[in-house]
């Protein structure tokens, strides 16, 4: 039996105690760490490179620069974007097959919003098909392209569409002009369980002498708790077009004050090199705009707008 001196025993005891203390401290530190809040881009367009498998709609010209889901995934990894909401791009028309394939391949990372023809008498059936058969989260409608012929927006004949949305748990995304919002409000009031997300500050024109009347139509929707707004395309809404688009901040602040930080969401539009092609800021600027530039958001607000709110609505991760 080896001889053990008291000093050796004491040194061993101290080493063991120190190691245990470090382990306990490490565990305690990890327990105190707050989990990273998710980053969600709620507005992302992708389109296929294989146009034989996923053809463009008639009369649509192929963009010069690709925007495939593979390119998007690489960009998300590079910049720490956890999730994206894929919004069907107009190039593929009413055929949502490419977005369907993307969300099938990466179901944990993406949610899909398709396009369906709002004038189609069977539009409710189309919603049912894409949601049940292809796991879409909802649809995007673009009344902005129907100015002067948008009676379908509040038509009673479209109540079955909204009823189907309520049944399926669909989210409606609206690319809409500010002057069309009163018609949309009628449907929102009639169908209070259908979440509605408004794109791009309702395309309000901030170059006019007094945008308050038109912007007020968006603010009027804040009384409906199922309505959300994207803080998106400030580069387009900005009269100056100069980052960080300070001339839009008073309007963003009014939206923030009226809707609150829990119903605002961040979105960009296009991945990779297509941002510049479409005259959009680089992703670094898009991230900095919410995280650093806009001064009236608190740190908690920034986390909500950058992803927490969207993760809850679209059920990403453990939200």
Residues 290/297, Cβ–Cβ less than 8 Å: yes
pTM attached to this predicted model: 0.89
Query: What's the whole-number mean pLDDT along residues 43-55?
Result: 96
Two tokens, residue 201? 């500050």
Domain ranges of the chain: 38-314
Q: Is the pLDDT of residue 197 over 60?
A: yes
pLDDT on residue 72: 98
CB atoms within 10 A of CB 269: 22
Answer with the residue of higher pLDDT: 9 or 222: 222
Q: What is the CATH number of domain 38-314?
A: 3.20.20.140
Among residues 192, 195, 122, 104, which one has the least CA distance to residue 158? 122
In the chain, % of residues over pLDDT 70 = 89
Which residues, other chains included, contact 70 with Cβ-Cβ below 8 Å and sequence gap of 6+?
Answer: none
pLDDT on residue 305: 99
Residue 137, CB half-sphere, CA atoms under 13 Å: how many?
Answer: 29
**How many residues would you count in the chain?**
319
Q: Is the pLDDT of residue 17 over 50?
A: no
Two tokens, residue 173? 């995304």
Lowest model confidence (mean pLDDT) among 7-21, 38-52, 219-233: 7-21
Residues 195/162, Cβ–Cβ less than 8 Å: no
What is the spatial distance between Cα 214 and Cα 195, in angstroms, rounded to a whole number?
Answer: 22
Pairing mode, strands 264-266 and 227-231: parallel
pLDDT on residue 76: 98
Residues 217/202, Cβ–Cβ less than 8 Å: yes
Characterise 63 by phi-psi region: left (phi > 0), alpha (psi -120 to 50), beta (else): beta
Query: What's the whole-number mean pLDDT along residues 200-207?
Result: 98
pLDDT on residue 70: 97
Average pLDDT score over the chain: 91
What is the spatial distance between Cα 48 and Cα 61, in angstroms, rounded to a whole number?
Answer: 13
Query: First CA to last CA across the chain, in angstroms?
Result: 59
Query: What's the whole-number mean pLDDT along residues 236-259?
Result: 98
Two tokens, residue 125? 């059936």
Residues 186/156, Cβ–Cβ less than 8 Å: no
Query: What's the whole-number mean pLDDT along residues 112-130?
Result: 99
In the chain, % of residues over pLDDT 90 = 82
Residues 99/109, Cβ–Cβ less than 8 Å: no
Q: Is the pLDDT of residue 187 over 80?
A: yes
What is the spatial distance between Cα 76 and Cα 142, in angstroms, rounded to a whole number?
Answer: 27
Query: What's the whole-number mean pLDDT along residues 156-178?
Result: 99
Question: 73-94 pLDDT, tens per residue?
Answer: 999 999 999 999 999 999 999 9
Residues 40/306, Cβ–Cβ less than 8 Å: yes
pLDDT on residue 21: 47
Secondary structure (3-state) at 37: coil
């Amino acid at each position: 039996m080896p001889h053990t001196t008291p000093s050796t025993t004491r040194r061993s005891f101290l080493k063991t105690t120190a190691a245990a203390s470090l382990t306990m401290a490490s565990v305690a530190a990890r327990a105190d760490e707050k989990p990273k809040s998710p980053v969600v881009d709620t507005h992302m367009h992708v389109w296929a490179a294989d146009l034989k498998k996923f053809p463009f709609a008639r009369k649509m010209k192929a963009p010069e620069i690709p925007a495939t889901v593979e390119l998007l995934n690489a960009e998300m990894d590079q910049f720490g974007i956890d999730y994206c909401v894929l919004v069907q791009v107009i190039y593929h028309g009413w055929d949502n097959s490419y977005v369907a394939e993307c969300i099938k391949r990466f179901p944990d990372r993406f949610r899909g919003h398709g396009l369906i023809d709002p004038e189609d008498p069977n539009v409710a059936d189309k919603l049912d098909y894409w949601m049940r058969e292809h796991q879409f989260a909802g649809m995007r409608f673009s009344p902005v392209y129907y100015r002067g012929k948008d009676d379908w927006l509040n038509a009673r004949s479209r109540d079955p569409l909204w009823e189907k949305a309520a049944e399926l748990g669909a989210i409606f995304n609206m690319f809409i002009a500010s002057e069309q919002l009163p018609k949309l409000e009628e449907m929102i009031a009639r169908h209070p369980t259908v979440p509605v997300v408004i794109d791009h500050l309702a395309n309000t024109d901030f170059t006019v002498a007094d945008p308050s009347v038109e912007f007020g139509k968006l603010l009027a929707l804040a009384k409906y708790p199922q309505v959300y707004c994207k803080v998106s395309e400030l580069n387009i809404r900005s009269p100056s077009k100069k980052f960080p688009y300070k001339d839009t901040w008073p309007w963003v602040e009014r939206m923030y004050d009226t809707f609150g930080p829990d119903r605002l969401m961040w979105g960009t539009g296009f991945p990779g090199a297509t941002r510049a092609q479409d005259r959009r800021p680089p992703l670094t600027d898009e991230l900095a705009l919410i995280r650093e530039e806009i001064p009236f958001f608190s740190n908690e607000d920034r986390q909500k707008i950058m992803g927490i709110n969207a993760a809850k609505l679209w059920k990403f991760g453990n939200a």
